[in-house]
């Protein structure tokens, strides 16, 4: 990933795309969210979702997976250019997670990350704190998933 | 699960317990959050976590898994008593998710659910809306994880 000093408020990045097949939906649900409407087409149809629906935690976990892969791609590109590579820190949490529309079997979600705020950490001088709005948008252009993430990002060594 | 009419504001329930072994932490991380401090003991020690740490999404997914199992247990007990069994609805999202302390390899987390608000849905007369504060507490009594969940819960048929 990049350093705090290399980021700009408002920048928006496509982090990746994932198609939620019925198989992927059921496999995740069996492991972490075994409710009937995530496991069975008929139960999904008869639920408020109107079809076999991905667990919201699945939609969120795929977002995380794609964001990590994107950051690793970004780091590999920086290393190739001979630049110093930053290693990200943990996240203290997030706000306002919303599952706005169901993600049904066959839907393809594209995830985006938009930087909303950047500031140095008060208590840890090598770290900054970034807030980013992460969204997932389906193949019809509808926002299905959104949350405001907070994460520690490293500061560039010797940055003022 | 139970019907809206059977729940009371303030009620608190232990939903289950999970020990985050190094193996479980690495298996989840490899699939959904492959950052070094979730995959490798040394990288964890050298991070802000101070040890091999579970992905926050793992801590959350385990909470979901235990809540579903608890609701299914509750339903089985109601069925055994010959009572009408309720089927839960989806969640539109949640607020204020916080990872307050790291969950490190070997930690045992006990999850609780406390009902914070209950109201009938304005748009869907068969459904109510429940807000619950879900927390995870480690073996030292420290709250490590907390979020305010919102979910549709069914109303008892013919309830006023």
For the domain covering A4-154, report its CATH number.
Answer: 3.10.129.10
A40: left (phi over 0), alpha (psi -120 to 50) or beta: beta
Interface of chain A toward chain B, CB-CB under 8 angstroms: 31-37, 47-49, 53, 55-57, 60-62, 64-65, 68, 72, 87-100, 102, 124, 127, 152
Out of B57, B87, B91, the one facing A99 most closely (by C-beta) is B91
* Cβ neighbours of B48 in A, within 8 Å: 89-90, 124, 127, 152
Residues A140-155 pLDDT 10s: 999 999 999 998 999 9
Residue for token digits 């007990």?
Answer: B77
**Least CB-CB distance to B49: which of A55, A90, A100?**
A90
Asked if the ipTM is above 0.90, the reply is: no
Q: pLDDT tens, B90-107? A: 788 888 889 999 999 999
Q: Which of A24, A30, A35 to mutate to test the interface with B (most CBs of B within 10 A)?
A: A35
Domain regions of chain A by residue span: 4-154
CA B97 from chain centre, in angstroms, equals 11
Q: What digits encode the pLDDT tens for the residues B10-29?
A: 999 999 999 999 999 999 99
- Tens-place pLDDT, residues A40-98: 999 999 998 999 999 999 999 999 999 999 988 988 998 999 988 887 777 888 888 89
Nearest CB among A31, A34, A61 relative to B57 is that of A61
Separation between Cα atoms, residue A55 and residue A34, nearest integer Å: 9
Which residues of chain A are within 8 Å of residue B95 when distances are taken between CB atoms? 95-97
Contacts 24+ apart (CB under 8 A), A29-38: A29/A54, A29/A55, A29/A58, A31/B61, A31/B65, A32/A57, A32/A58, A32/B61, A32/B62, A32/B64, A32/B65, A33/A57, A33/A58, A33/B61, A33/B64, A33/B65, A33/B68, A34/B65, A34/B68, A35/B68, A35/B88, A36/B87, A37/B90
Out of A84-93, A123-132, B29-38, B109-118, which region has the weakest mean confidence (pLDDT)? A84-93
Please tell me what DSSP assigns to residue A50: S
Q: Test B61 with A33 for CB contact under 8 angstroms.
A: yes
Residues paired with residue B133 on neighbouring β-strands, in sequence order:
B114, B148
B64 vs A contacts (CB less than 8 Å): 32-33, 55, 57
């Amino acid at each position: 990933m990049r350093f705090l000093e290399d980021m700009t408020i408002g920048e928006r990045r496509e982090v990746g795309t994932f198609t939620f097949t019925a198989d992927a939906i059921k496999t995740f649900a069996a492991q972490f969210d075994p409710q009937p409407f995530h496991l069975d087409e008929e139960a999904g149809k008869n639920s408020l979702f109107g079809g076999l629906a991905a667990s919201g935690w699945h939609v969120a976990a795929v977002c995380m997976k794609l964001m990590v892969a994107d950051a690793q791609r970004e780091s590999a590109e920086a290393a190739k250019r001979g630049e110093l590579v930053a290693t990200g820190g943990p996240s203290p949490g997030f706000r306002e997670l919303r599952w706005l529309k169901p993600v049904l079997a066959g839907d393809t979600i594209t995830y985006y990350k938009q930087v909303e705020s950047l500031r140095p950490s008060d208590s840890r001088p090598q770290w900054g704190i970034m807030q980013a709005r992460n969204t997932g948008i389906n193949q019809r252009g509808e926002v299905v998933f959104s949350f405001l993430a907070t994460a520690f990002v490293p500061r560039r060594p010797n940055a003022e």
